[in-house]
Structure 1
Amino acid sequence: MPDKPIAVFGGTGFLGDAIVRELVETGRAVRIAARHPALPAWAEEGDLIELATADLRDEASVNAALAGASAAINAVSLYVETRELSFEAIHVAGAGRLARLARAADIARLVQVSGIGVSPDSPSAYVRARARGETAVLDAMPKAIIVRPSVLFGPHDAFLSGLEGLTRLPVIPLFGRGMTRLQPVHVHDVARAIAQLTGRHASPRCLFELGGPEVMSYREILETLLAHLERSRPLVPLPFLAWRLIAALAHRLPGAPLTLDQVILMQADNVADEDVGGFRDLKILPHSLRESLPNCLPRASIRD
């Protein structure tokens, strides 16, 4: 009898794809649940992958995607609101709906992906929604596991790719003085942790904050990237008030290249709390940003 699949909601996204791959490579059956599900480019014949069309706003589709699953992972992400998609609908109501339906389906293991620094009092609408989403999930399923990664990086990511684009400018503007501390974490390490948390052996912890082995300021990350790319650019401090004004203007542009929420996020450190679960509890040694740069941004593939 084949194993029951693990339903990965948001399985086509950056983190979701990495989670699906980690599960498949360890021989487990996976169901990719997304609004537009598709087989990953890396999938091979014989991989135990199912596709399910699911929208966290639609109860019937979520129920169908959960049917017969052994565990569920919510890796659905929304960083910028649109007319059709709001933080409230996806990160709060949608997350709570998934948890409620998972419990009704007798699914014992649910992993909810959130983020470090969530707070219901944050000036960021995104962060407030993430915090309310955690509460909604735990209200519906008290034994759900919350995973809060720091800034994700990896091949073909948005973080390093975006910074690489900045290094092409003659001058690189910093957020403030660039002293905000981040703990960049490799997407594959987070995927490995989440896959482990859906395993047969229950974790004694229900809250994990996952950060890489290095805590670096935003300035240090840019300097490290410039050294790797063998580029020299001046780093110029820019007050956060100026960034807020830029974000307000950018909000009117198609695709919103910069949002107020992103500026607010860069005003607070994003570092894992050592008093909650982490990679050490899962016996995972995470990759550092410095050692991963050649694989994430190979110089041969970047045209100056």
Structure 2
Amino acid sequence: MKELSVVVFGGSGFIGSHLVAHLAEQGCRVVVPTRRYESGKHLILLPGVEVVEADINDDAVLRRLVHGKDAAINLVGILHSRRGNPYGPDFKRAHVELPRRIVAACAAEGVPRFLHMSALGAAAEGPSEYQRSKADGEMAARSEPTVAATIFRPSVVFGPGDKFLNVFARVQRFMPFLWIPGASVDFQPVYVGDVARAFAHALTDVKTRHLVYDFGGPTIYSLGDLVRLAGRYSGNPRRVFEMPMGLGRIVAAFLELLPGKPLMSRDNLDSMKVDNVVDPAIQRSTAAALGIRLTALEAVAPHYLRADHRFDDLRARAGR
């Protein structure tokens, strides 16, 4: 990859950290804006990476951040919002208004490319506020004709540091069994490294401009099966039962009242009214079109979920 100058919004998060590391390895110069410098300091030792404190809600700041860049990448996303119709204000600000403002800044500063993270299942008439806001976010990403957008729609993303399999593994350390709503819903989890490679590929492949890529891994699992795998790989296998969705909504409503981010919300359950898998009948581009060989969950998850993984990390940092 020739040296490119890129700004990555959301670059200090789970997916962003993997992508920024991959771009740095490919020789890109990367700017990562963050509200708090501490959130991105794990990236500062990567070659060509600059972490800057910035208020991305300020349009003038956005223009300064994208000025002189070859591309902007937006990975910002949230799972919970205050409720609203067709979606709540937090979803609107993060999923719709932010990409529209970023791409407007790109247009104003002559930045030709915008790569945007959406989500598998994004649909204007989707059952959840999350899915509906993601669909409108895709429209926002395409709102400037002078900026060529590429949109990625991954299923749930797994890998070291994820908040998906790691959460299920951690819960099973303390629970004798799990009773979860949506256990029979299908997902097609995709490895974070494959997602990072897809974004990096799109930066230099002109054929990816103006396209949407649906991204799922090589295998479809029910949510219950994924929970069982997380327990097995972490050394804490538990029996998993399916909770009736009606009862699940009552539990989710209670969790929404607790301080902090809820473990589960009613909108999360609404998203699970449809399977989160790539539809083979829809002729959108997929990982195969980018030449990416998808990574099996079984090849990666056992290593980062095992109980002694954190001690391996400590030993590696100590050079042992």
What secondary structure, in the 3-state scheme, does the structure 2 residue paired with 1:179 have? coil
The answer to whether the aligner puts 1:183 opposite 2:188 as a matched pair is yes
Contact kept, 8 Å, 2:189 with 2:217, in 1: the verdict is: yes
Find the partner of 2:285 among 277, 282, 297. 277
Deviations 1:104-151 (A, max 9, x none): 222111101000001122232221111111112212247311111110
Contact kept, 8 Å, 2:148 with 2:209, in 1: the verdict is: no
Structure 1 unmatched runs, 5+: none
Matching residue of 1:233 = 238
> 1:145/1:161 Cα in 2 relative to 1: closer, same or farther (>3 Å)?
same
Matching residue of 1:51 = 51
Find the partner of 1:171 among 177, 188, 195. 177
Matching residue of 1:261 = 267
Paired AA for residue 62 in structure 2: V
Matching residue of 2:215 = 210
Q: 1:55 and 1:96 mapped to 2: Cα distance?
A: 16
Find the partner of 2:201 among 172, 193, 196. 196
Per the normalisation by structure 2, the TM-score is 0.86
Deviation (angstroms), 1:251: 1.0
Deviation (angstroms), 1:300: 2.0
Deviation (angstroms), 1:202: 4.1
Matching residue of 2:115 = 111
Aligned residues: 300
Task: Give percent identity, aligned residues only.
Answer: 30
Contact kept, 8 Å, 1:17 with 1:40, in 2: the verdict is: no
The answer to whether the aligner puts 1:289 opposite 2:311 as a matched pair is no
Contact kept, 8 Å, 1:100 with 1:137, in 2: the verdict is: no
Deviation (angstroms), 1:265: 2.0
Per the normalisation by structure 1, the TM-score is 0.90
Q: 2:34 and 2:279 mapped to 1: Cα distance?
A: 31
Contact kept, 8 Å, 1:56 with 1:90, in 2: the verdict is: no
What secondary structure, in the 3-state scheme, does the structure 1 residue paired with 2:61 have? helix
> 1:273/1:55 Cα in 2 relative to 1: closer, same or farther (>3 Å)?
farther
> 1:3/1:293 Cα in 2 relative to 1: closer, same or farther (>3 Å)?
closer
Deviations 1:152-184 (A, max 9, x none): 1111210011111232311211324x2211011
Contact kept, 8 Å, 1:53 with 1:61, in 2: the verdict is: no
Deviation (angstroms), 1:44: 2.9
Paired AA for residue 152 in structure 1: V
RMSD over aligned Cα, in angstroms? 2.4
